[in-house]
Structure 1
Amino acid sequence: MLRRLVLTATVSAAALACAVPAAGAVTSPLPLPVPLLYAPDRLTVMVSETGARTDGRYELECAPAGGTHPSAQSACERLDELAGQNHDPFAPVPEGQMCTQQFGGPATARITGTWRGQHVDATFDRSDGCEISRWRTLEPVLPNTRS
């Protein structure tokens, strides 16, 4: 059986090699691969109850940095830094994670949009130690709420 497969593959390869285009025929080159197209990094950041002037809705665009976000350049740099660490900054706290029972204030945020070709819809608060840490990891995309 193996011999039959090898023989069939050899004959097929020889037949393809002999199939020379007719003299003078123009052959077109193989098409170049199309680069993967990603939607641009574009996020909407909505922040409330921070107790500061940072409450509001901001647009953040990266590569190049822009939009209405007050710290667009440093926010994009932080997202790039987290990506370089293979860290998903928008992932929720894992189910069953033990967290300190401390309250970091009533601040909440929601981030929606596209980042690195992926859809983002993440919510943030400061309801316990894990959520506070998650918020701080994403500063300055989210505002610093420490006094």
Structure 2
Amino acid sequence: MLLRRIALAAAALAPAALLAVPSATAAPAAALPMPPANPEGLDHLTVTVSDNGRFDGSEATSTTFYLYCHPDGGTHPRAREACRQIDGQTTWGKDPFAPVPDGTVCTMIYGGPQRARVVGHWAGRPVLAEFKRTNGCEIERWERFSRLLGTPVKGWPGIR
């Protein structure tokens, strides 16, 4: 973990160091921006999944897991798989947890009342994401995080 952070910091600083060296033909350049540091030194997420779609505590059957990655751990039952799945979707400059964009045309398929809330830090950035299964786009988004959120129990109408 520490070696990974050192390597990432060195890789990020190397272009800035090269740009800072004055040359006869180029004007001095500004340093490249760095992503905010994660003070805990880990990618970590708190995942709360509600089976009935409500987070208000009224007869809600919700489950909360803690996921730590790099190294993998926490209380999540599939920590390694969940970390790998999120790693596979992480690209510099893009939020892997971004909601479905406004104006997206989605099929009107109901996937069930399940909801999930994910908070924490990933790739040095804060995460605050909500998931639901109210249409085809939201179901597809949930499926992209199936190892993190789990697959809903069969039996609800519309669940595969």
- Tell me, yes or no, whether TM beats 0.5: yes
RMSD of the TM alignment (CA)? 2.7
Largest Rg, 1 or 2 = 1
Q: Deviations over 1:48-88 (max 9, x none)?
A: 117xxx94000000000000001000000101111159763
Amino acid at match of 2:43: D
Give a deviation string over 1:12-43, Cα, whole Å, max 9, x none: xxxxxxxxxxxxxxxxxxxxxxx977312010
CA contact (8 A) 2:36 2:125 kept: no
The amino acid across from 2:90 in the alignment is A
Letter in 2 for 1:98: V
Q: How does 1:12-23 map to 2 (within 5 A)?
A: none
The sequence identity of aligned pairs, in percent, is 43
Unaligned runs of 5+ in 1: 1-9, 11-34
Contact 2:108–2:135 (CA<8 Å) still a contact in 1? yes
Equivalent residue in structure 1 for 2:119, among 109, 112, 116: 112
Kept in 1, the 8 Å contact 2:118–2:129? The answer is yes
Task: Note closer, same or farther for the CA distance 1:129–1:36 as it changes in structure 2 (3 Å cut).
Answer: closer
Q: Does the C-alpha gap of structure 1 residues 64 and 37 become closer, same or farther in structure 2, counting only changes over 3 Å?
A: farther
TM-score (norm 2): 0.63
Partner of 1:30: none
The 5 A counterparts of 1:58-97 are 58-83=65-90, 88-97=95-104
SS in 1 for 2:48: strand
Instruction: Please state whether the residue corresponding to 1:140 is helix, strand or coil.
Output: helix
* TM-score normalized with structure 1 length: 0.68
In structure 1, give the amino acid aligned to 2:132.
D
Across the two proteins, how many residue pairs are aligned to each other?
112
Any idea what the Cα deviations from partners look like across 1:71-119, whole Å, max 9, x if unmatched? 0000001011111597633100001000000100000000000000010
Structure 2's unaligned 5+ residue stretches are: 1-23, 25-33, 53-60, 155-160
